[in-house]
A and B are shown apart, each in its own frame.
Chain A
Amino acid sequence: MTNLNDPWNDDEVTRTLNDLPPVDPPSTLVNDVMSTIASRGAARATHPSVIPTKRGEIMAKKVLWIVAATAALALIAMRLVGYPPVEKGTEATIGAAQRYQSPQISSADVKTEDAQLQTFLQSDLFRQLTTDKTARQALKNKDFQKALQEPAVRAALASSDVRSAIGSVKPGVAGDAAALAKYDLSIRAALDANAALKAAFDASPALRAALVSQDVIAAMNSAALAAVLSQADVSNRLSNDAAIRAVLSAPDVAAGAAGGAATDVVAR
């Protein structure tokens, strides 16, 4: 005997569910479906982009809602992600003013030469150099400029013997190997006092060529250059590219203003 408080077993539930008979659909269902299909087909033919639904809604309205929802989600996502980034200082502006802003001048931009060079550029010796064509011509010689950067060469040229030995080379023999060899002997003799320069002179054909070039031979007879070369501390200035540029630029200005032009060159 079944107790009213006993839960139903699975078989009993199954039998009960199967007790529910199949239900006949409404007799008009087929006709209703086919007439709806026919009317929708006609509506689609006349209004292909708008399909009316049962509840009177239109598809265009659904699309509008979808687009609006998508746009709202995109805005929220952009807000959360922080895209596009807002640059500092441009908040609340429609567009940042694109002004040119030159950087502040820094100490690295101000190139100051040492005081000795400035003194040299304002000295009488410098003025004499700028007004001595033979000295300027010699200083234009790249090989001579390079030679002057060697302390040993400057030390050798400080010797009047060396200068006179080089200066005694007759113009026109620089390209004559045999004649040059003869003068080499006198130069080498003059260089005996300077072993380092002598060794360099022997080892470097370029140095020999520089010292016996037409320009340098002529410059060795220049009183202005001789005066500069004879003073070790002053000749040291000629190892400075700025000083040489100053000398070479001097012809561009009047002799009296040479010092001022040289200062401009250094400032460049």
Chain B
Amino acid sequence: MDDTGDTALIARCLGGQQDAYEAIVTRYQRGLFTVALRMLGNYEDARDATQNAFVKAYEHLNTFDPEQRFFSWLFRILKNECLNVLRARRPSQPVSLDLPSDRAADPVEVRERQRAIQTALMSLSTEYREVVVLRHYTDLSYDDIAAALGIPATKVKSRLYTARQQLGELLMDWRVAR
């Protein structure tokens, strides 16, 4: 993602040119929505969380520090939105894995596998799930993930290792059940 271009667009937004923000939303909507979907496992929730994150980011654009990556800053806002959604869910309420219908063309076995992976992801705790999602579904480096989460890079790696271990066990159960 082009940080230099971000800076110019943000400067235009702060100067009152609202259309510049449209360019930012267009640029980051795919990455942010994917993260939201993998974090929440529900298409509608992911859409609401992404939309709210973009709106709040616009309203607090003057607090953005140009020294950091814009996507990292956006992610922190999105993470709060996702946590709000997860908190609003009742613990006993099963997660409805409402995945995008445009992938319906995939073979049944592939869709089944994708659903199993998403189910396993949702079984992880939030702090493990977020490192997996940021590592596998964004182009952030370990340092960028560490900055976005506010933890050391070593902790990112250790959490990622533990998360993969847990995913391996969860997916083994799925393979046995097939």
Binding site for B on A (CB under 8 A): 4-10, 12-14, 16-26, 29-30, 32-34, 36-38, 40, 54
Contacts and interface: CB of A to CB of B under 8 A. Distances in A.
B60 to A, nearest CB: 12
B72 interface: no
Contacts, number: 101
Contact of B137 (A10, A20, A40, A54): A20
Contact of B33 (A5, A16, A25): A25
B22 A17 contact: no
B51 A29 contact: yes
A54 B103 CA distance: 30
Contacts of A36: 51, 55
A116 B26 CA distance: 115
Given A16-B117, A25-B50, 4 more contacts: A8-B172, A10-B164, A24-B30, A25-B32
B128 interface: no
27 contacts: A4-B175, A5-B176, A7-B165, A7-B169, A13-B171, A14-B136, A14-B164, A16-B171, A19-B110, A19-B113, A20-B114, A20-B117, A20-B118, A22-B30, A23-B30, A23-B100, A23-B103, A24-B30, A26-B33, A29-B47, A29-B50, A30-B26, A30-B29, A32-B51, A34-B22, A36-B51, A54-B48
A23 B118 CA distance: 13
Which range holds the interface residue count of chain B?
Answer: 35 or more
Interface in B125-151: 132, 136-137
Given A4-B175, A30-B22, A19 B117 contact: yes
Contacts of B29: 25, 29-30
By Cβ-Cβ distance, the 3 closest A-B pairs, closest first, are: A8-B168, A25-B33, A33-B54
B136 A17 contact: yes
Nearest to B44: A26
Contacts of A30: 22, 25-26, 29
A13 B167 contact: yes
A34 B103 CA distance: 27
B38 interface: yes
Nearest to A4: B176
Contact of B103 (A21, A25, A26): A21
A23 B58 contact: no
Contacts of B171: 8, 13, 16
A36 to B, nearest CB: 5
Contacts of A10: 161, 164, 168
